[in-house]
A and B are shown apart, each in its own frame.
Chain A
Amino acid sequence: MNASDITAMSPFVAAILVAAGVILVDLAWPGRRTAALLVTFAGLAIVAALTVAVGQAGTTAFNGSYRVDSLTTFLDLLFISISALTAAFAPDYLGERKLPVAEFNAVLLFAMSGAMLIAGSADLIVLFLGLELMVLPGYLLAGFHKTDGFSTEGAIKYFLLGSFSSAIFLFGIAFVFGMTGSTRIDAVSSNLAQVVAGTAPFSPALGLGLAFLMTGVAFKIAAVPFHYWTPDAYQGSPTPVTGYLSVGPKVGAFAVIIRLFAGALLPMAAQWNIMIMVLAALTMTLGNLVALTQDNVKRMLAYSSIAHTGYMLVGFAAFAAGQIQGLEGLLYYGAAYAFMNLGAFAVIAALQRRTGVSSNLATFAGLVKREPALAWLMTLFLLSLTGIPPTAGFFGKFYVILAAVQAGQTNQWMNVLAVLTVLNAAAAAFYYLRVVVYMFMRDPDAEVSVAAHGRLVWTGLTVTTVMTIVLGFFPGLLLDMVSTAAKAIG
């Protein structure tokens, strides 16, 4: 270990330190929300600054097990944004329920550091550690409302199944280690290239390893048929957590996919891409179909997040079929999805500020008359989730489909996938629109009191709104970053 190693890893280290700092501050001044929030946001700013500063260096560290490249920087910044927004949306909701804000922020920051570790991993074991560090705090967050039966139920389902899938994933890593003799991503990749070329011995155990790895990540991104935990965990979690869970661990898990499949296992893309395509098709179709039947908006958005996983997988399949645009589309989609979905959940959380307000559709009835600003913002986020141009969500879908169509020139099935995506996107409009209909075209059954929302919530909502609109009108701003990031792989 030397100075350059520490430099490369400094954003990650800083994130851990900030998390610890929040705990210490809470220890010193118990229950002082402002202090904890101050440390959180200041710390996040420092981490972001470090990320940008280190990102320009572009180095590997710790004997090649950690790597800082443009992809790391992009993903880190995305994770930081997600955490910052979550930290902004949560205090109102938590405070009303007497839940500790400082602990929440600390746990959230630990989860973020895990995601950052994933983004920079150049070794499968580091990858696994990052994954665990990301999901373990996630379980805690899901069960954060520990006196609430739904929250704990969602948490235990999430935890049990998540640990189960982690074990499966780890078994897959063991196989890859055994078959290639290394856990370093580039070494695995070059060994596999020899296997595929026929110059190195080949074992069917590699197929098993692939299957275990794919099951593991499919679970983490909530791809069908490994999605079962998603609706229950999302519905049960405190709403700001649901927002975080639907984007943070999802983008993080996609980072695993990128580092693992687009990095280590790329030589075997021809073998595993069929599975990705099947997963993508199943995931978006089932997610959308079931979302159509939901009356609880949180649960509906949970199923819709499954569908979005499917769209992102389409981008990844296009990448695996040889189109770098697929990876760009996936990254763009991830960022767009993060902002619009966090925004949507923030609105729900704001509505649920008062305890006892359910997330059923009925809560949204006549919202435009009670709180017109929230209603219009929610409409914007839902339109973006639907993919109506010109919003961020539209370009996410657009790039993914574009990449799929281009990949379709070499692989006919990619065309089918592209058409299926278009059909799914069309069907998805209905359940999103239902919420809009309730907000604008229904009158509430009973008089509902209006709760005030804190300044942090409004700031966060402004950011998500601006991003949703700006990325729709000027997608080029993000596209440059995305294509630089994708070049780190392609």
Chain B
Amino acid sequence: MLSALNLISQNLNAYLVLSGILFSIGAFGFLARRNAISMLMSIELMLNAVNLAFIAFGAFLYSSNARHAAEASVIALIVMAAAAAEATVGLAIVIAIYRNRKTPLVDEYDAMRQ
């Protein structure tokens, strides 16, 4: 068991697959959820999946070049900051439309179409 985990943790592809799965879950959540807040959370999940990919790449690239690892970590931090900004803006907009429409369900926001 432990050896299997050890094997996986030595394998870049495993992290990438995990990242891919997380990203897909996020994307699915975005497609399937009707609540604006849930969709926002799904996007956060997707961004975290990307962060995982960055970190994994940084750790494994060219036999763990330290510079790459550091670079990837910084990128992850930057992405988190961007995600936080995005969430702020998003919540502000959600609150604004909630005041107008009294519902957080996005499929009821279809006054404009075609």
- The residue that A139 contacts in the complex, of B58, B89, B109, with Cβ under 8 A, is B89
Contacts of A358 in B (CB 8 A): none
From B65, B85, B86, B97, give the contact of A153 (CB < 8 A). Answer: B97
Q: Is A174 in contact with B89, judged by CB distance below 8 angstroms?
A: no
Verify if A152 is at the interface (C-beta below 8 Å from B). Answer: yes
B61 within 8 A of A: yes
> In the complex, which of the residues A154, A170, A174 contacts B57, with contact meaning CB atoms closer than 8 Å?
A174
Question: Roughly how many angstroms separate A196 CA and B57 CA in the complex, as a whole number?
Answer: 21
A421 within 8 A of B: no
Q: How many of A's residues come within 8 Å of B, CB to CB?
A: 40
Indicate with 1 or 0, residue by residue over A223-238, a CB within 8 angstroms of chain B CB atoms: 0000000011001100
Residues in chain B near residue A129, CB distance under 8 A: 78, 82
Q: Does A450 sit within 8 A of B, measured CB to CB?
A: no
A149-B36 contact in complex given A163-B86, A178-B57, C-beta closer than 8 Å: no
Contact B46 A181 (CB under 8 A): no
Q: Complex Cα distance A181/B64, Å? A: 11
Residue in A closest to B111 when the chains form the complex, CB atoms = A153
Q: Write the chain A residue with the least CB distance to B61.
A: A181
Residues of B contacting A168 in the complex (Cβ-Cβ under 8 angstroms): 46
**Bound form: Cα–Cα A236–B39 in Å:** 21
A174 near B111 with CB under 8 A, answer: no
Given A149-B101, A156-B36, A163-B43, check contact A132 B112 (CB 8 Å): no
Partner of B93, one of A125, A155, A166, A231: A155
The verdict on A143 contacting chain B, using a C-beta distance below 8 Å, is: yes
CB nearest to B94 among chain A residues:
A156
Whether A171 pairs with B96 at a CB distance below 8 angstroms is no
Across the interface, do B39 and A125 meet the contact criterion of CB distance under 8 Å? no
Instruction: Render B68-82 as a binary contact track against A, CB cut-off 8 A, 1 for contact.
Output: 100110010011001
Q: Can you list 28 A-B pairs, Cβ within 8 angstroms, ordered by A?
A: A125-B75, A128-B82, A139-B89, A143-B96, A146-B99, A147-B99, A149-B111, A150-B111, A153-B101, A156-B36, A160-B30, A160-B43, A163-B40, A164-B46, A166-B86, A167-B43, A167-B47, A167-B50, A170-B47, A170-B50, A177-B54, A177-B57, A178-B53, A178-B57, A183-B71, A183-B75, A205-B16, A232-B112
Hey, which bits of chain B sit against chain A, CB under 8 A? 16, 23, 26-27, 30, 36, 39-40, 43, 46-47, 49-50, 53-54, 56-58, 61-62, 65, 68, 71-72, 75, 78-79, 82, 85-86, 89-90, 92-94, 96-97, 99-101, 106, 109, 111-113
